[in-house]
């Protein structure tokens, strides 16, 4: 099992890895990143990128076009924590959540550039071997970029279209030694209860008393573009939970997390995928009932305060999910752009 020193080294490696992007020229990126990853490094990214890429592949297919499109790109991590994953107690993991921002000055994925500052919500889970990164699961909000460019092509979302903010307490960057193990264990237990509660009540409107056992009344739910963010238990119920449960809970299977872990008052999990669901009724994302089974890649990041969850940052690979339902917002956007020319 990884030691506290292993976890501290993992955070230092993460910090150096993220700093390596600052001011780097795209042509130098592979050489710079190679100092931080293993020779057989693998990267798992959102649609439309391939399921798995090695270092050459991720530099060529993802990072080089991204850095070309978003000039002066800055990584702005807001939440960093490291621990042992409950699924794989012999593995060392570290997670980083925040924003990547830059001046959007060239098209990206055919999304038209705006020439304006653009925010890309981003979350990475890294597995380390020794003191190098061996595996990365990276979700970032492509639909949010489309929204900022005015070309998302989706129905109006139920929540607010705002960029994720850092934790209210501004204490999310835990680059130092690991937190108290008992505090981390209790946070993981609270996360487990939360997940069990959400999965055990298939009715459309979950009992608010059950929610209050885990969540503060004024909880913040930071949702992905297409769903949006909301404040308070009632906002969460009305603007996410009800449409989600109405459409997807009649046939729903939890397929497991790749890693779930916590440190102090922060924790999270990543699934690739986490869920398989059949769209039995219409409503979620404005979709009709299709009776199609589709999977969801999901990341949840949590912050605890005074024993209950106060904030939840949520990433869902909605482009991959919609693709399985034969809906392709990127293709629709490209067709609309073609017709304008």
pTM for this model (two decimals): 0.95
199 pLDDT band, cuts 50/70/90, is low
Q: What is the pLDDT of residue 282?
A: 86
160 pLDDT band, cuts 50/70/90, is very high
Q: What is the pLDDT of residue 297?
A: 96
Examine the pLDDT at 286 and tell me if it is beyond 90. Answer: no
Examine the pLDDT at 50 and tell me if it is beyond 90. Answer: no
Q: From CA 240, how far away is CA 233, in angstroms rounded? A: 10
Which domains does the chain show, CATH number per domain? 4-148 (3.10.450.50), 181-330 (3.10.450.50)
Examine the pLDDT at 106 and tell me if it is beyond 80. Answer: yes
| CB distance 213 to 222 below 8 Å | no
Q: What is the pLDDT of residue 252?
A: 85
Q: What is the pLDDT of residue 335?
A: 86
Q: What is the pLDDT of residue 201?
A: 58
Helices (H), 46-117: 55-58, 64-69
Averaged pLDDT for residues 227-236: 95
């Amino acid at each position: 099992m990884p030691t506290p020193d292993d976890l501290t080294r993992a955070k230092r490696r993460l910090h150096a890895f993220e700093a390596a992007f600052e001011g780097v020229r795209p042509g130098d990126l592979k050489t710079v990143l190679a100092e931080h990853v293993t020779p057989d490094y693998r990267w798992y990214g959102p649609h439309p990128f391939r399921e798995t890429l090695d270092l050459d592949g991720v530099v060529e297919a993802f990072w080089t076009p991204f850095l070309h499109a978003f000039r002066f790109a800055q990584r702005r991590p807001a939440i960093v924590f490291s621990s042992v994953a409950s699924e794989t107690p012999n593995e060392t993991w570290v997670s980083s959540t925040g924003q990547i921002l830059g001046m959007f000055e060239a098209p990206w994925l055919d999304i038209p550039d705006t020439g304006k500052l653009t925010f890309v919500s981003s979350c990475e889970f890294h597995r380390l071997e020794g003191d190098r990164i061996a595996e990365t699961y990276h979700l970032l909000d492509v639909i949010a970029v489309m929204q900022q460019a005015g070309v998302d092509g989706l129905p109006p979302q139920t929540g607010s279209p705002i960029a994720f903010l850092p934790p209210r307490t501004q204490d999310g960057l835990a680059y130092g030694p690991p937190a108290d193990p008992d505090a981390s264990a209790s946070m993981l237990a609270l996360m487990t209860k939360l997940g069990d509660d959400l999965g055990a009540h298939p009715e459309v409107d979950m009992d608010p008393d059950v929610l209050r056992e885990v969540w503060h009344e004024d909880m913040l739910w930071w949702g992905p573009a297409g769903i949006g963010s909301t404040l308070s238990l009632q906002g969460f119920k009305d603007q996410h939970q009800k449409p989600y449960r109405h459409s997807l809970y009649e046939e729903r299977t939890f397929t497991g997390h790749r890693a779930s872990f916590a440190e102090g008052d922060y924790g999270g999990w990543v699934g690739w995928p986490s869920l398989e669901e059949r769209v039995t009724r219409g409503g979620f994302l404005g979709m009709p009932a299709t009776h199609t089974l589709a999977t969801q890649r999901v990341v949840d990041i949590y912050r605890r305060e005074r024993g209950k969850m106060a904030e939840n940052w949520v990433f869902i690979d909605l482009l991959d999910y919609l693709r399985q339902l034969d809906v392709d917002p990127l293709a629709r956007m490209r067709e609309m752009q073609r017709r304008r020319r």
